[in-house]
Structure 1
C-alpha cells in the first residue's frame, strides 16, 4: 500500500509541471479549434469549449492514473507489456468518460452523442497513438544515452557478465559497494570513492556519503518534510545530503 501511494504521488506530481500543463492547454485549444469527431460542424464554439474543456483535462488525469496502475499491477511485466496495460486502462476509462459526457444532451447538444462502440474506437486509436509515441520517445532517449556512454567505465570490468550493463546506482552496503545496473545487482568489496572514480566518463553525481547515481537514472527529485531525495527510473528512492545538494542544483537536477 505504501508503494502504491508513493507511485501515485510521484506520478501526479509531474502532472503540474509547466511543460505538461502547456501541452494540455495546447491540446485543448487544438480540440476546440479543429472540432474533431464532428464537433466543429455540430457544436457552437461555446459548446465545443465546454465539451473539450471537460474531456481533455479529465482524460489527461485518467491517463496518469492508467500509467500509475500499469506500474503497480504490471511491475513484473516487461516494459512493452506495461505499455499495453497502460493503453488498456486508459482506453477503457476515457471511453466511459467520452460516452458519459455525450449523454449530457442538455449541456453539450446532440453532437456529443457517440455510441459506446464509436467512442471506444476513437479513444482506442488516439490512446494507441499517444502510448506508442511516448514509448518511441523513451526508447530514443535511452538509445541516445547508450550511444553517449557506449564506452565501458572501468568499474564495468568488475561486474559479472549476467548483470553487466548500464550502471545506474552505487551505494554502500556494510563493507561492500552495491552496484545496480539495468540488469540486476551485485556487491563489490571496495570503497565507494574508488568505485566512483572507476565510473569516470559517465555523467553522474555523488548525492550522499553512501550513494552515487547516474544522471540518466534520475526520474525526478522531491522534497518531503524538509528532506530532499531522488527517485530513480527503477522506483528506488535515494537520499540527497545537504553537502551534495548544491552540486545537483548547479547541474539542474534540483
Structure 2
C-alpha cells in the first residue's frame, strides 16, 4: 500500500515534467534558429569576422542571452501578470545583463580588448533584439482567450404562475404547454401544443397574469414562454426567435434586454 501511495505523486507530476521539457526544447530550438539567422546575416559589423567565428559568436549571444531573458521573464511572472507589461519591463531590466554577455562573447570569440566606452551603444543594440525574443516567446505561449458562454437555466414554473391566465382558456387547452401569445388589438391568439385559441383580452392584462411565469415579452405584440425557445438571432436593430414548435417570432429592440440577460442574445 505504501508503494502505491508513493507512486501516485510521481504519476501526477509526469505530464507536468513532460510539458516543461517540451516547452524548454521548443524555446531552445527557437533561440538556436535565431542565432543561426543572425550568424548568416552578420549584423552590427559581425560580417567582417570569419563565418565560423561569426556563427559561434551569435549562438552564444542568442542562446545565452535568450536563456537569461526567459529565466528573467519567468521570475517577473510572479509579480507582473499582464504579459505585454512584463515583456516590456523585462526587456529593459535584463538588457544590461545580456549586454555584458554579448561584450564578453565578443572579447572571447572575436578577440581584442574589452571596450566599455561604447557600452551605452551596445545597450541600444541589445534591447530591440531582446525585446523581439520576448515578444516571440510570448506570442508562441500565450493562452487563447477563454470564451465563457452563459445561459439562464429555466426552472419549472411556480404552481400558480400561469394559473390566472390558464383560467381564461378553454378546457381543451387549459392544461396544454404554453408556447407564445400574439396580440391582435383587444384579442389574443394563444399558441399551445394543443393548437391555437383566440381570447378577448388585452396584452397588458395577460402580462399581469403572467408576471411570475417563465417567459418574456419580446415584442409589442408577442410574449414567449422560456421553455419554448429553440434558438435566437439578432441582426443590427431587430432579432428573431425560433420556437421548438417551428414558429418564428420577432424580437424588437425595446424588449431585447430580457433575452440578453437570459443569455439568448
Please classify the TM superposition score into its range, dividing by the shorter chain length.
0.3 to 0.5
Superposition TM-score, scaled by structure 1 size: 0.44
Superposition TM-score, scaled by structure 2 size: 0.42
Between structures 1 and 2, the one with greater helix share: 1
Whose Rg is larger?
2
